[in-house]
Amino acid sequence: SIDYSLSMQENVPTGITPDELQQVSRQFEQGLYQQMESRFKDGTYAFRQCLSDAREQLPAIKDYVAHQLADMQNFVVVGIGGSNLGNIVLDTAFAGNGRKIYYLDNVEPHKVKHLLQNLDLKRTVFNIITKSGSTSETLANYLVVRRTLEEQRLPLQRHLLFTTDPKKGYLQQLRQRDGIPTFTIPPQLGGRFSVLGAVGFLSSAFKGIDINQLLLGAESAAQELQGTELPRNKGLLLAAIYLQHYRKGRNINVFMPYSDRLYPFGLWFRQLWAESLGKIDQHGQKVGQTPEASLGTVDQHSQVQLYMEGPDDKVITFVKVCHHDDDIALDGEIDYFQGQTMAGLLNTQLHATEMSLKKQKRCSLRLEVDTLSEWNLGYLMYLYMYATVAAGEMLGVNPVDQPGVEEGKQFTYGLLGRPEYQDKKHEYRHLQQS
């Protein structure tokens, strides 16, 4: 559930009004909703349709993990951005079966070398995830991994796994040449919207996370998030709240779960919101709200001072897990802890921070999940993807492209000498001199 009372003017004078929310609802009624729906239907916003693709791939993913990876102990995700972050969210949220997942995203030689030296490679599988099949960091890490496996005479078909576009890209050529097991990412699905499929499910299944429940949660969200009525459509509601705050000058959107298990969700959201919405809109205006990942209670001893007394340029979303697994009693010699638990302390701190912010006339909202289950996380991920494209509609930007990210990739390809990117190399030199 979403409690947004501390975002509303009736409770916090700097907040938004019911009328402002109704305006958003009307805007959607008068055309935006239809436009958004047609983009869902034609596959521009592919993550809804792709849930059925994920459902179809589920048995093959489970089968591969159960049979081909039965004696593996380590799983390394080799991918960056949308081809990596969702895996960390799922891995951190659930304890699973104790098998380990590692990550190679950046091309940090020290980290790569030490990881490859320290892992028992005979019991390690590397999932090379790249939608485009050409991202330089991922291919560089792949090369080093492959060379190491070859040096140790380990069979590539057993220790490598590809997750990529079904037709395009370098990995497809390699798959055909070397017979590497390959899972596919639907062609129309962008990286940051792809976690609920092969991209996120292979590592999760390896760790014993219930990927069926993740998918069921997302499917339920897809069914539920329909219509222009607020607060009924929670995805639209989130987008409306965030952007009405943005219009009041709140350029920063802080995601602050009171659970370490959800901290990477904030990093995933940070990518989703920034890369999807930080754009030049249809009128040539530069728009976007800066997302920030924060962690309760840890950041109460750090960022919260700024949230309280610094500029009123932030909207803060707290996430409360009502029933934490494995809660611990705090009975002992400290009187005020009598009858308390650790999770109780977390949630008391959350409410205390909410009220301190209210006292300073600062706006917040609270997402509540009963427990941190796979179903709930699948639901939450879908909810945020939906809110992101709805916000894209409101801002008049294309939330599923990323020309700014592509520009940097293309300059890199040009500088590295890829023949088809030589014009980018010349542009780079020209910019350097101008």
51, amino acid identity: L
User: Partners of 307 in the beta sheet?
Assistant: none
Q: Rounded CA gap, 184 and 186, in Å?
A: 6
- Is 191 among the residues that bind ligand PA5 (CB under 6 A)? yes
Q: Rounded CA gap, 51 and 381, in Å?
A: 12
Q: Rounded CA gap, 43 and 46, in Å?
A: 4
CB 379 within 8 A of CB 331: no
Q: Tell me the residue nearest to ligand PA5 as measured from the CB.
A: 191
CB 215 within 8 A of CB 82: no
- Is 138 among the residues that bind ligand PA5 (CB under 6 A)? yes
CB 344 within 8 A of CB 295: no
Region near ligand PA5 per CB under 6 A, out of 39-47, 119-127, 131-139, 329-337 = 131-139
CB 155 within 8 A of CB 124: no
219 is catalytic: no
67 is catalytic: no
Region near ligand PA5 per CB under 6 A, out of 64-72, 128-136, 232-240, 417-425 = 128-136
Catalytic-role residue among 301, 333, 420, 430: 301
279 is catalytic: no
- To ligand PA5, the closest distance from the beta carbon of 82 in angstroms equals 3
- To ligand PA5, the closest distance from the beta carbon of 163 in angstroms equals 9
Q: Which of 24, 32, 51, 80 forms a contact with ligand PA5 (CB under 6 A)?
A: 80
DSSP 8-state assignment for residue 207: T
Region near ligand PA5 per CB under 6 A, out of 61-69, 79-87, 310-318, 421-429 = 79-87
Closest CB to ligand PA5 among 106 and 338?
106
Residue 321's nearest CA partner among 284, 366, 356 is 366
Residue 80's nearest CA partner among 126, 137, 165, 161 is 137
- To ligand PA5, the closest distance from the beta carbon of 288 in angstroms equals 15
- Is 402 among the residues that bind ligand PA5 (CB under 6 A)? yes
């542009």: which residue's tokens? 427
- Is 135 among the residues that bind ligand PA5 (CB under 6 A)? yes
- Is 72 among the residues that bind ligand PA5 (CB under 6 A)? no
Q: Which of 20, 219, 275, 354 forms a contact with ligand PA5 (CB under 6 A)?
A: 275
Residues annotated as part of the active site: 275, 301, 409
